[in-house]
Amino acid sequence: MPSTNKKNNILHAVNGYQDALDHQQELLKTGTDYNEQNGHVANTIASLHPKRIQLVVSEVIEDTASTKTLRFKAKGGFLPPFQAGQYINLFVNIDGTETARPYAISSAPQQRGFYDFTIKHVADGFVSHFLLNDVKVGDHFQSTGPMGTFYHNPLFHGDDLVFLAGGSGIAPARSMILNMIKKTSQKIHLIYASSYEADVIYINELKRLEQEHDFLTITWLISRPTENYAGRTGHVSAELLSELLGNDLETLQAKMFYICGPTSFHDFCAEQLKQLKVKARRVRIECNGPPKRPETLAGWPQNLIASDKVMVTIHKADGSQGQFEARVDEPLLNSMERNGYSAENACRSGECSLCRVKILKGSVFNPAEARLRSTDEAYGWCHSCVAFPTSDIDVLV
Amino acid sequence: MTDFDAIVIGAGNAGLTAATALQRGGARTLLLERHNIPGGCATSFIRGEFEFEVALHQLSGMGTEKNPFIMRKIFNDLGIMDQLTIVEERELYRVVMPSKVNKEHEIDIVLPASIKALKKTLSAHYPEESENIEAYLTLCEKLSLECFMMLPRAQKMADQTVLESTCPNYIQYGLTSSKDVLNQFFSNPDLKTVIAAYWCYIGLPPKDIPFCDLAMMIYAYAAFKPCHVQGGSQAISSALLESFLNAGGKVLFNTGAAKILTENEQVKAVQTEHGDIFSCQHIISNTSPQHTFNELLDIPTPTQVADDMKSRRLGTSAFVLYLGLDCTPEELGVTAASNFIIDDRDEEVAFTTMQGIVDPTHTMVTCYNYDDPSFAPQGKSTLSLLCLQYSQAWQDLPVEEYAQAKYDFAEKLINHAERVFPNIRKNIEEVEVATPLTMMRYLNTPGGAIYGFQQNTQDATMFRKRIDAISGLHMAGSWNGMGGFQPTYMIGESTARAVLKKIKKESEMKQQELTHA
């Protein structure tokens, strides 16, 4: 019974006190104890942003000799909506090591019967090797919900879009293109760079779409062509972009550029757009994993070589501790996972901050990929997916 | 011995403050947080080059270094004051009511953050009401002092004559509807609207806000200055966590509480979402009472709590656009960090539009780098556009339509603000949209409520019995007090103090039992 305690009896002298008490009685009569809403918050959020989705492989589609598309259905039937260009983080257990990798959803957002993930073989790729070789129809997986900010944002992206795709970076472009089929106002110029002719993913589907729809223009680019290749060759250079898109700065500025591919492709394309004086606000670059060779980056400690090893001591909140040795050029999250420790994670590229851990002692190298909050470093917080231990460290997980 | 003396569920403002105060006070404390970062809404996120403040608009109660107020003392006691860089705002706010026919605004006034200058500015704009302005602001000051000092004393003494002799303004105006007091003092409708603009920070129109709340806000902000903190509210949250850890506290992130376990209506332990069980003497819940009692507690909600909730109504949520702009505040035409853009002098119109996804009539624009350039990359601006809004209409949308509805409403909000700041859209470099469902996702509150229950007069603590049906279970947060930063920090601190007292008493009793035995 909401009522006042003794000392408040003097408050009857206050104007409006009795009115408020009367109001309270009135509300009490018509109010609810909120028990009918039990589970409502959790269910509402799960329908838009589930923390985990239970997936089952429904089809394995061979795209090229080095690429497959894995089609996943939801175990419970429900897949949450996503925005074309977003990714999920797929959890895997490979010979006892629990890890995960983010994959862009390559299927269209209009249909939610399945999600497609297009996976290209990566030389020495731990997870891609597993997904391409060991996964079969009927296998079960867990993933995060769809995440990420690499999608067309109608508030400022405009209708004139350019997508620079390198290799399997075509995956989110496919979803975006499929999503545009019924949208009359947008147009997109896809500039799709592959190393070899045999590597080109979705070639038939994309050619058909280009023929059927006015909104889509495709420029194919092969960097290591065979002798008889008749199409365009080379890289996504500033010259090529000028040739294809024109030189007029105002026209270029009105476009929105999306870049997705390997890290070297990102860096190269971003540099070309800079040369063309395209402003940062007109360029979106998808994140793409931790830097491969951190020892080559600005800020890497002198005298530290990639093969150096340090001791990592893990402190769990329950007071227990564990230790393992790790190479300084391996992301902390990866070495933790190989040694049986984990941190929540999704983008594995420094952006989403889910894998945030605290360095209690010692130091780590945070590359530019680590999108840390301004106060993080002062207190030792880092994003473990892109943090490289540069001394013996103690980590709170 | 239990695993912990106290377990705090939720690392929001009140939870973090409570946990820090408890651990520093000698109680072995475990802090559970379902997200990966401390702060609740007192946090920030990164997009591109920008770090966006999520929720803090104007921190109250700090005072200046020379003239410190209560929050400095609290932060000092929590061991974090020297970690914070405080930025004082020069202005309280600007109110603009754009004209519907031409480019001349119907109302456009910037209120300075000082009582003296505030009186001067208002009198210059509304000279025919200058005496009323003086009287009104003097009343706000007196009322604030009475609420802060004399009223608690009179209540403690339970002496009506003390109340009558020391709180005359409170007796006359304290619990009166703010709208009635505004009507009583002023005749110019513009002035009433301008001086009551802080109603947004409570989320109810002045008609439903007791005057003491509105009066204290304008007086305290003007006298003690609104502030920002470098690094945003995340800087406060991170500093609190650090202080908690340094004192020996244990924290588990990505670990929500799944059950509160009791025995004979006395708390015993908390079970986490991962299945771990930690025993404890006390639980401080920083999550809503609905979640705490109806969902976490292992026994049916006690009648005392159910009845308390029955007389409360869900408070508002908010729709927020976080904008990183490729232009300076000057280029944008910003002349105060905090801006209220309104289409109607009547706040009740705003309250009606808050119920659905319709054209907004009252919005707030905060430019974080106006008073301190460190809040945005060089040459750029960090802005938030906010509109108070209940969540029901968003909950009713099919999930497929959610994203589009989100962008459609964001467009409306930008259009609304562009009548005052015309170049927003063309300068967007980064944008993130948060709907009431986003608030629900990150705050885990029913309806995505940002201030807890509706803070009408009868909702206040003085009309409430302390919830004590489950021994050892304490509530701390906006749901059992006022919403906003200062109130939630303060309730966290006072809850911890009460729990520490109990722990001390309990251990003294145990000691006595031992000596007698």
Residue A217 above 90 pLDDT?
yes
Can you tell me which residue has the tokens 């009401």? B129
- Are residue B337 and residue B383 in the same domain, yes or no? yes
Dmax over CA atoms of chain B, in Å, equals 86
Domain annotation covers residue B98: no
- Domain region containing B367: 316-450
pLDDT tens figures, B298-346: 999 999 999 999 999 999 999 999 999 999 999 999 999 999 999 999 9
CA distance A279 to A256: 10
- Are residue B378 and residue B475 in the same domain, yes or no? no
- Are residue B170 and residue B200 in the same domain, yes or no? yes
- Are residue B392 and residue B474 in the same domain, yes or no? no
**A70: which strand partners?**
A60, A117
pLDDT tens figures, A223-245: 999 999 999 999 999 999 999 99
The answer to whether residue A185 neighbours chain B at the CB level (below 8 Å) is: no
Contacts of B95 (CB under 8 A, 6+ apart): B107, B108, B109, B111, B193, B194, B197, B339, B340, B342
Question: What does the pLDDT read at residue B8?
Answer: 98
Instruction: From B450, B468, B500, give the residue that closes a domain.
Output: B450
CA distance A141 to A54: 6
Q: Of A319, A306, A281, which Cα lies nearest the Cα of A388?
A: A306
The answer to whether residue A46 neighbours chain B at the CB level (below 8 Å) is: no
Which chain A residues touch B466 with a CB distance below 8 Å? 5
Rounded to two decimals, the ipTM of the complex is 0.94
* CATH value at residue B512: 3.50.50.60
- C-alpha pair distances (Å), A207 with each of A116, A148, A157: 19, 28, 25
pLDDT tens figures, A178-208: 999 987 799 999 999 999 999 999 999 999 9
pLDDT tens figures, A11-23: 999 999 999 999 9
- Are residue B260 and residue B349 in the same domain, yes or no? no
Q: Which fold has domain A294-396?
A: Ubiquitin-like (UB roll) (3.10.20)
CA B251 to chain centre: 24
Domain annotation covers residue B176: yes
Rounded to the nearest angstrom, the minimum Cα separation between A206 and chain B is 26
**A192: which strand partners?**
A165, A220
Which chain B residues touch A3 with a CB distance below 8 Å? 465
Question: What does the pLDDT read at residue A1?
Answer: 41
- Are residue B289 and residue B377 in the same domain, yes or no? no
* DSSP label at residue A301: P
Whether residues B444 and A41 touch (CB distance < 8 A) is answered with yes
- Are residue B251 and residue B353 in the same domain, yes or no? no
Residue A2 above 70 pLDDT?
no
- C-alpha pair distances (Å), B164 with each of A115, B78, B152, B167, B168: 70, 36, 13, 6, 6
Whether residues A153 and B407 touch (CB distance < 8 A) is answered with yes
CATH number of A160-285: 3.40.50.80
Can you tell me which residue has the tokens 């000051």? B141
Domain A47-143 is classified in which CATH homologous superfamily? Translation factors (2.40.30.10)
- Are residue B208 and residue B176 in the same domain, yes or no? yes
CA distance A123 to A128: 9
Domain annotation covers residue B101: no
Domain annotation covers residue B100: no
Interface test mutation site (partner B, options A34, A157, A282, A356, max chain B beta carbons within 10 A): A34
Instruction: Specify the number of domains making up chain B.
Output: 3
The answer to whether residue B344 neighbours chain A at the CB level (below 8 Å) is: no
Question: What does the pLDDT read at residue B23?
Answer: 98
Interface test mutation site (partner A, options B20, B462, B466, B479, max chain A beta carbons within 10 A): B462
CA distance B31 to B290: 20
- C-alpha pair distances (Å), B382 with each of B45, B51, B225, B365: 12, 8, 21, 10
Whether residues A375 and B234 touch (CB distance < 8 A) is answered with yes
Question: What does the pLDDT read at residue A261?
Answer: 95
Side-chain half-sphere of A361: how many Cα atoms within 13 Å?
Answer: 9
**Overall average pLDDT of the A92-109 stretch:** 95
Instruction: From B450, B482, B505, give the residue that closes a domain.
Output: B450
The answer to whether residue A123 neighbours chain B at the CB level (below 8 Å) is: no
* Confidence bin at A247 (pLDDT 50/70/90): confident
The answer to whether residue A279 neighbours chain B at the CB level (below 8 Å) is: yes
CA distance A187 to A181: 10
Question: How would you label B320-354 residue by residue, b for 16+ Cβ within 10 Å and e otherwise?
Answer: bbbbbbbbbbeebebebbbbbbbbebbbeebbebb
Partner residue facing B175 (CB), from A20, A40, A317: A20
Please list the alpha-helical segments (H only) found in chain A: 17-30, 40-48, 126-133, 170-180, 203-212, 238-245, 249-254, 263-275, 332-338
- Are residue B129 and residue B8 in the same domain, yes or no? no
Q: Which of residues 342-381 of A touch B (CB under 8 A)?
A: 344, 351, 353-356, 371-376, 378-379, 381
Instruction: From B224, B240, B258, give the residue that closes a domain.
Output: B224
Domain annotation covers residue B96: no
- Are residue B465 and residue B342 in the same domain, yes or no? no
* DSSP label at residue A222: E
Q: What is the domain partition of chain A in residue ranges?
A: 47-143, 160-285, 294-396
- Are residue B261 and residue B340 in the same domain, yes or no? no
Residue A5 above 80 pLDDT?
no
Domain annotation covers residue B92: no
Average pLDDT per consecutive 10 residues, chain B (517 residues; last block may be shorter): 96 98 98 96 97 97 93 98 96 96 92 97 98 98 96 93 97 98 98 97 96 97 95 98 97 96 97 97 98 98 96 97 98 97 95 96 97 96 98 97 97 97 96 98 97 96 91 96 95 98 92 81
Contacts of B373 (CB under 8 A, 6+ apart): none
Domain annotation covers residue B93: no
Q: Give the start-end residues of each E strand in B428-477.
A: 428-434, 473-475
- Are residue B206 and residue B321 in the same domain, yes or no? no
Rounded to the nearest angstrom, the minimum Cα separation between B121 and chain A is 32
The answer to whether residue A159 neighbours chain B at the CB level (below 8 Å) is: no
